[in-house]
Amino acid sequence: MKNIAYNLKRTAGYLLGFVLFYEPFMMFNKIAGTFITDTSFSSIHVPCARIPLANIVTGEWLAASPISLLFCLLLAVTSLWFGPLFCGKLCPAGGFSEFLGNLLPDKYKIDWAKLVPILPLRYGFFVGFLFSVWLGFGVPCTYCNYYSLEIFVNLFITGHLLNNLASLIATFFLANLFFSLFTKGGRGYCLFLCPVGTYNSLFHIMGRYLPGAFAMQINKVSCVGCTKCTQKCPMGAIKMQDNKAQINRKLCIICGKCTHSCPKQAICYQSNLQQEDKYHGHND
């Protein structure tokens, strides 16, 4: 019953994210549009952080949608105070890839942490994404797993394929097969290629210096080193050190799977103002 309740709660969060940000619903856009004058172009590009992030870096932020800029601001503020909740609780693209990753036994999956340096690749791609416009690569929609998932969802719901670009179709299968089905944890795209996830993580890292900010904490007294949390973490954000779990804030998405899997209830999500000497968890 505990597992069912937990899975239902996570599924409800991703469904909420779908209703808020995906066509044909786009409720975030409709709500924000009542307060902000914006284009009537109804698309995933309106509440999109990828394009305005690049626009801000290149000095073209005035060309970005005001709703998109608001979305970027909300992501920054929530990640600073509460961590990457969007990634771990609301993002349908990440949730879908994680679900696919659970369909195969781990023996058939790639554990990227054992093969490549994840953090340099992750943040290196983020920097490359931000400056790609200067290099003439244009709008990065063709390799966006968020957009590629949306076009297939719309095909299922409405029978209309929003875009049939071969690059988007390739992105869909890359993100949801190679980087999900055959990746340990199912979030290979989130690890390496999602600029929004890295953007959220950067603010979560800064949040460690902010009084009252929330993060996952591990009770080092209660932790028995069973490694169940490391096995369940979809981002590979938990490692063992001296037989105690350590959470890497640079990768953690606050999904709560570690808390749910811990048999000793040694992991909790709490403010750093509540942190006691017995709590630790961040290998930053």
In contact, 281 and 269? CB cutoff 8 Å: no
Residue 281 has pLDDT above 60, yes or no: no
Report pLDDT for 33.
86
Q: What's the pLDDT tens digit per position in 119-172?
A: 999 999 898 888 776 766 655 677 788 888 877 777 777 766 655 567 777 888
Q: Give percent helix, percent strand, percent coil of the chain, each to the nearest 5.
A: 55, 10, 35
pTM of whole model > 0.75?
yes
Report pLDDT for 199.
95
How confident is the model over 242-262, as a mean pLDDT?
A: 95
Report pLDDT for 274.
80
pLDDT band for position 43 (50/70/90)?
Answer: low
The rounded radius of gyration (Å) of the Cα atoms in the chain is 19
If one compares 162 and 264, the residue with the highest pLDDT of the two is 264
The runs of H, that is alpha helices, within the chain are: 2-21, 27-33, 50-58, 66-82, 85, 92-101, 118-131, 145-158, 166-173, 188-192, 195-206, 228-232, 257-261
In contact, 27 and 19? CB cutoff 8 Å: yes
Residue 115 has pLDDT above 80, yes or no: yes
Residues with Cβ within 8 Å of 66's Cβ and at least 6 positions away in sequence, in order, are: 36, 37, 38
Report pLDDT for 23.
79
List beta partners, residue 110: 183
Cα–Cα distance, 189 to 166 (Å, whole number):
19
Across the beta sheet with 279-280, what order do the strands follow? Answer: 267-271, 214-219, 279-280
How confident is the model over 267-282, as a mean pLDDT?
A: 75
DSSP 88-126: III-HHHHHHHHHHTSS-GGGSB-GGGTS-HHHHHHHHH
Q: What's the pLDDT tens digit per position in 65-108?
A: 888 899 999 999 999 999 999 999 999 999 999 999 999 998 99
DSSP state of 224: -
In contact, 217 and 269? CB cutoff 8 Å: yes
Least confident of 7-21, 66-80, 192-206, 267-281: 267-281
Q: What's the pLDDT tens digit per position in 230-245?
A: 999 999 999 999 999 9
Residue with tokens 């509460």: 82
Report pLDDT for 279.
64
